[in-house]
Structure 1
């Protein structure tokens, strides 16, 4: 069977969707040369990402980051404000602006594809492009500021709301059926499951895992369309 083609989502593409909002980065103007400042920030963030994922955010010091990045400790604050500023920049790059497509966008832009094809493509792109961002986000949540946690939660809530609307359209369910929010929440959980499953089933083919999870998501959505919330009993698998 010929693989369906999907356009890649450019990480820098402007979007009107509120779920693309980013965290507020500090304004640091210690170095007047913009290209040098950007190069140094990239060195700092690359080194910090490795350390945050290896040692954890709390156990990583600015001295560790300087040693790994090659940036002098006396000048590092010319490029970043503090360790939380580094974390925000990494999350903006790897979590908010990863380039992975949004499932509601795929469903709206590619109605010619089957639901399972759209969901499977979404999972594969999410697991590929947002892998490090997801790992970083889940491991550093306790160390985020209250405002940063609020912004990240709001983004997830906006995604869930948009996906619930897409599910309503697919299933022809009435507006605000609470089950669509439950399924949308589960879809986001299952998308995040991919990067977080590294410790388990590492020998399984990633595409096979994505296709299997996509089939489960499609089954959940199809089940919503088949059974109304007024039914007192759910049918058994044997029925």
Structure 2
């Protein structure tokens, strides 16, 4: 995605092969998440990170200049995956509440796949330099804006109730928080819900709120078969 590639270019590198840079940085990010969670951000050395990725310390520094860069790339990897999933969901030929349900589902599935990344992002973003913190927060708001803009488009087409902008804004932020909540509380939720069950119940909660605000019964369709075989 163009925007994510722009973010990647903000992290300095002398390597000219852009695809190689993306591939190596993906590997660095995946290894870093595990090390940061296991040993802590401050206790994880760049030498240990290089060793786990199978690179020399010198080679590692060709793709990132510091642990701060690595942590920033962890954050941008989450945002890129979310943006990709949401845009794919919006492009699907579905009707009525299913359109919003698809967006919610894709976002929650990304939060499930990248639970460690999400948790780490919230735990250690405070340690980033101010310029990186600002960009991470801007990216978070940009993700929420995708939900908000999606609902505004669905409102225009009559696929969700005619809600005011303030309500749509609130719902957009609620979707974002509920997705991240799975990452924060999966140690508890996973005992009682599969990710599909969590998605279904939270989506129904959001849809009921939509209907309540518009004084009508409004639930997502339940015959939309997903890749996992579940219904929403």
The normalised TM-score by structure 2 is 0.71
Deviation for aligned residue 1:199: 1.8
Structure 1 residues 123, 219: CA separation in 2 closer, same or farther (over 3 Å shift)?
Answer: farther
Structure with larger Rg = 1
Answer yes or no: is the 8 Å Cα contact 1:21–1:96 preserved in 2. no
What's 2:137 paired with? Answer: 153
- What SS does structure 2 have at the residue aligned with 1:196? helix
1:1-239 pair list within 5 angstroms: 12=1, 22=7, 24-29=9-14, 41-97=25-81, 100-102=84-86, 106=89, 109-112=92-95, 114-115=97-98, 117-119=101-103, 121-168=105-152, 169=155, 170-174=160-164, 176=165, 178-203=166-191, 204-226=193-215
More helix by percentage: 2
Aligned Cα root-mean-square deviation (Å) = 3.4
Deviation for aligned residue 1:123: 4.3
Deviation for aligned residue 1:109: 4.8
Gaps of 5+ in 1: 1-11, 228-239
Structure 1 residues 19, 79: CA separation in 2 closer, same or farther (over 3 Å shift)?
Answer: closer
- What SS does structure 1 have at the residue aligned with 2:95? coil
- What SS does structure 2 have at the residue aligned with 1:188? helix
Deviation for aligned residue 1:220: 1.6
Deviation for aligned residue 1:146: 1.9
Deviation for aligned residue 1:145: 2.2
The normalised TM-score by structure 1 is 0.69
Post-superposition Cα deviations, 1:166-218, rounded to whole Å, max 9, x if no partner, equal 445122134x3x22212211111001112222221323322111111111111
